């Protein structure tokens, strides 16, 4: 059976769409559904949803070690089983712990998709890694657009939250069916004869570890904000789920046409540009309201567009000996960071809501206010102020990355000119 690149790419894209839809639909359900139906605080929601990122990290690290041994196809079969199990368990969840456990399954499935598909794309396109990884990762924001629009339309028709989750089964079943029929190649490391010892050594190189550290911050900036944005911006006067769709629509288009950007800026330059733009976007967004939020959102979206795939592409290009494990460590580090940032953002947001309530008013009465009362108007305003303050603090992450990526550009120039010691 021959290797069918186009069909493999389509199947990989569908798997990433399924992964992204779990993010989008969970983001839509965070406050109004999981908070109210299961009686959870924002901090509890952050911990519960954060388990998806723990599972993702665990699956990526283990998958990165096993993908060369078991093959990419078996890892993707594990992903298929995990998605089916996690989504069905989520639909039948009844409280914190059932939601917690089901989300771990979804996270592990998402991790298996990344653990297998990133080295798969790098193997299929060895001479265009950064470009094709960006093109593959079009389907993460693309899937969030699909999931966000589905969630919005179903909300208009007052469909149940369980139906929203069930929609994710469509791309899951599709990619599972396709991968079962396709033959996949060996990973690039195996086919090039790089030993396990060489791979492990490459994974502890100082510059590689520096990139792992940066991945913590880039992923928190992108994914942490995207998961909470429907809550943080719920009172700016625009449907927040549409802002999420808008962000990811811009990201999808940017990644689709990443080739010219890579050629003009190179990976290190792309990352520096992204850090500067994401910082500006988050600060602008924290001071925006109404339809001006779309302008701020556009700047933020442009900033985070190239973070994830370019970080992976940089490692694949400059550290090819790290193989599938190197890409999995990067992805795992990114998702692990988000598992920490989500509850931190949720807890900070809760604290900011409380601190924004005027001292002359009863805090308990404001926090339990129902729509249509004067107390609810105060709660709406405090939520708006709390969301803005949370975004301003998140902006510190890409601000720090500006300095980190200036260092990276200098370091890369030394490597290219042969002056690196």
Q: Provide the residue count of the chain.
A: 421
pLDDT confidence of residue 240: 66
Query: Among residues 312, 342, 307, 305, which one has the least CA distance to residue 326?
Result: 312
Buried b (16+ CB within 10 A) or exposed e, 155-185: beeeeebeebbbbbbebbebbbebbeebebb
pLDDT one digit per residue (tens) for the chain, 421 residues: 678 999 999 999 999 999 999 988 876 776 567 767 777 776 777 777 777 777 888 888 888 888 888 889 999 999 999 999 999 998 998 878 888 888 899 989 999 999 999 999 988 988 888 888 889 999 988 998 898 889 889 988 888 889 999 999 999 999 999 999 999 988 777 767 788 888 889 899 999 999 999 999 999 998 888 767 766 666 666 676 677 788 888 988 988 887 777 667 788 999 999 999 999 999 998 888 777 878 888 899 999 999 998 999 899 888 888 888 898 899 888 888 887 887 888 888 888 888 888 877 777 788 777 777 888 788 878 887 888 888 899 999 999 999 999 999 998 877 664 444 3
Residues 252/405, Cβ–Cβ less than 8 Å: no
- What's the distance, CA 130 to chain centroid? 18
Scored b (16 or more CB within 10 A) or e, 364-381 reads eebeebeeeeebeebbee
Of 226, 375, 229, 387, the C-alpha closest to 307 is 226
| Structural domains of the chain ordered from first start | 5-417 (1.20.1250.20)
Q: Tell which residue, 333, 342, 307, has the closest CA to residue 58.
A: 333
What pLDDT, on the 0 to 100 scale, is given for residue 233? 65
Cβ 80 vs Cβ 179: under 8 Å? yes
Closest to 159 in 3D by CA, of 19, 17, 25 = 25
Residue 364 is predicted with a pLDDT of 79
Query: 3-state class of 12 per DSSP?
Result: helix
| Phi and psi, residue 41, nearest 5° | -80, 170
Pair 145, 49: CB distance under 8 Å: no
Do 401 and 222 touch, CB atoms closer than 8 A? no
pLDDT value of residue 407 = 95
Mean residue pLDDT across the chain = 85
Query: Alpha helix (H) ranges present in 92-184?
Result: 96-124, 129-136, 139-156, 161-166, 169-181
Q: What is residue 156's predicted lDDT score, i.e. its pLDDT?
A: 87
Please tell me the distance from the alpha carbon of residue 41 to that of residue 58, in angstroms, as a whole number.
Answer: 26
Which is it for the CA torsion 397, 402, 407, 409, positive or negative?
positive
- Inter-helix orientation angle 323-356/307-318, to 10°: 150
**What angle do helix axes 396-417 and 374-394 make, rounded to 10 degrees?**
20
- Please, what's the b/e burial string for 57-83 (b: 16 or more CB within 10 A of its CB; e: otherwise)? bbbbbbbbbbbbeebbebbbbbbbbbb
Question: How far from each other are the two terminal CA atoms of the chain, in whole angstroms?
Answer: 46
Q: Say what the pLDDT of residue 21 is.
A: 93
pLDDT tens-place string over residues 395-404? 999 999 999 9
């Amino acid at each position: 059976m021959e290797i069918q690149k186009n069909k493999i790419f389509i199947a990989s894209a569908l798997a990433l769409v399924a992964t992204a839809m779990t993010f989008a639909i969970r983001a839509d359900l965070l406050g109004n559904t999981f908070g109210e139906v299961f009686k959870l605080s924002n901090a509890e929601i952050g911990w519960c949803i954060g388990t998806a990122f723990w599972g993702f990290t665990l699956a990526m690290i283990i998958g990165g070690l096993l993908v060369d041994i078991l093959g990419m196809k078996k890892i993707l079969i594990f992903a298929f089983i995990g998605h089916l199990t996690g989504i069905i368990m989520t639909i039948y969840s009844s409280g914190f712990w059932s939601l917690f456990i089901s989300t771990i399954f979804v996270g592990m499935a998402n991790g298996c998709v990344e653990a297998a598909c990133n080295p798969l794309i790098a193997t299929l396109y060895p001479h265009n890694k950064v470009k094709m990884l960006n093109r593959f990762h079009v389907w993460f924001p693309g899937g969030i657009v699909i999931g966000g629009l589905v969630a919005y339309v179903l909300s208009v028709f007052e469909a149940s939250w369980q139906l929203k989750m069930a929609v994710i089964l469509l791309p899951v079943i599709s990619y599972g069916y396709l991968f079962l029929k396709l033959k996949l190649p060996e990973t690039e490391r195996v086919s090039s004869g790089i030993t396990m010892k060489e791979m492990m050594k490459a994974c502890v190189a100082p510059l590689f570890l520096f990139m792992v550290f940066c991945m913590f911050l880039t992923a928190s900036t992108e994914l942490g904000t995207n998961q909470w944005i429907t809550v943080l911006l719920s009172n700016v006067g625009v449907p927040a789920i549409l802002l999420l769709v808008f962000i990811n629509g811009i990201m999808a288009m940017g990644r689709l046409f990443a080739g010219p950007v890579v050629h003009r800026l190179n990976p290190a330059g792309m990352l520096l540009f992204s850090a500067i733009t994401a910082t500006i976007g988050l600060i602008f967004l924290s001071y925006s309201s109404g339809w001006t939020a779309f302008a701020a959102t556009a700047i933020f979206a442009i900033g985070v567009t190239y973070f994830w795939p370019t970080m992976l592409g940089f490692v694949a290009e400059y550290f090819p000996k790290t193989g599938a494990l190197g890409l999995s460590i990067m992805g795992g580090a990114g998702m692990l960071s988000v598992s920490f940032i989500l509850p931190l953002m949720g807890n900070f947001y809760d604290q900011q809501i409380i601190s924004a309530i005027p001292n002359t008013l009863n805090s308990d009465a404001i926090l339990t206010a129902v729509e249509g009362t004067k107390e609810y108007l105060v709660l709406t305003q405090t939520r708006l102020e709390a969301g803005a303050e949370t975004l301003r603090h998140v902006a510190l992450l890409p601000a720090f990355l500006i300095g980190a990526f200036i260092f990276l550009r200098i370091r890369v120039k030394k490597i290219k000119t042969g002056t690196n010691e």
